[in-house]
Amino acid sequence: MTDLFAKIKEVTELDGISAHEGQVRDYLRQKITPLVDRVETDGLGGIFGIKESSAAQAPKILVAAHMDEVGFMLTEIKTDGTLRAVDIGGWNPLVISSQRFCLYTRQGRKIPLISGSVPPHLLSKKGGNGLPEIADLIFDAGFTSQTEAQDFGLTPGDMIVPDSSAILTANQKHIISKAWDNRYGVLMVTELLESLKHDKLNSTLIAGANVQEEVGLRGAHASTTKYDPDIFFAVDCSPAGDIYGDQGKIGDGTLIRFYDPGHLMLPNMRDFLLTTAEEAGIKYQFYAGKGGTDAGVAHLKNSGVPSTTIGVCARYVHSHQTLYSMDDFLEAQAFLQALVKKLDRSTLDLIKNN
């Protein structure tokens, strides 16, 4: 087992959907506290380590992952003991049925359950696409009645999370796991702070992770308002389109995400990214996103914050089994380190010179 795979296995096997990020927050607090001057949280539960700079007019860099993964939340216990749930984050209905999940009760008890196979009469839907409604899907823990489920501590609002463990592919180049979106970002933050623990920076670094990204980029509102950064780097994972003839190929390096529906990269930011990548010998690929990241919120806050996303791509995101490249993580980490080390007041002024 390689050291990197062991770290990825540890972080992806943590459980935490939006608003239930406690396991991931505890992990981050433990990892980053020895590496920074102080650790702070915002009112929604985002956690950040602050590494102060003594440089004159040091700009503030906010580097933010997000802690949450996609999952479900218990909404109803039926009289027969089966469960109904609401999706937390985006799910393709075709990947949900007949999968293992875990439910966490208020008392912290971990309950195994499965998603039921959908009966044929639920497969017809207005519009004729044949997909089931997620609200119609049955979750089943084997309870015989509503009372029995309640006796085990189940309550509406409980977290339901995919049950999946990380494994290496046969060629040892890729990993299959849940939650690389966005435990990738969480590991990026801890590895960044570890690499910089003895460095004197020309900027104040604020690095950590937001909550509730998967339900509308909510945590980024809180953290960007709290810290009022001069520049913002989201660290997030995007869907790979390589096997579908689209952009984003695993193994081809970090992403230069120049466009998504909620964010357009500033030309001077693109120049900064490309120049830094070329100087540092970073392997990169261009990427136009179909969805958004926390950069979409951050760049509109306060008086406007130059923002971008330092990312990698992965196949089959938002499911139990995501496949991705370890080499891409290493390229993205080297890229983020180079960017943070290079940033000072004069470089920021060039980025903001519109």
Residues marked as catalytic: 213
52 among the known binding-site residues? no
221 among the known binding-site residues? no
Tokens of 54: 């003594």
Q: The sheet that has 167-168: what strands, in order across it?
A: 167-168, 174-177, 322-325
Instruction: Decide if 292 contacts 216 (C-beta within 8 A).
Output: no
66 among the known binding-site residues? yes
Distances (CA, A) of 270 to 63, 265, 306: 17, 7, 11
Tokens of 191: 């590895």
Whose CA is closest to 91, among 108, 109, 115? 115
- CA 170 remoteness from chain centre: 26
* Peptide bond preceding 202 in cis form (omega within 30 of 0): no
Q: Residue 266 carries which DSSP code?
A: -
Instruction: Decide if 69 contacts 82 (C-beta within 8 A).
Output: no
15 among the known binding-site residues? no
**Residues flagged as binding site:** 66, 181, 214, 236, 318
**Residues flagged as binding site for Zn(2+):** 66, 181, 214, 236, 318
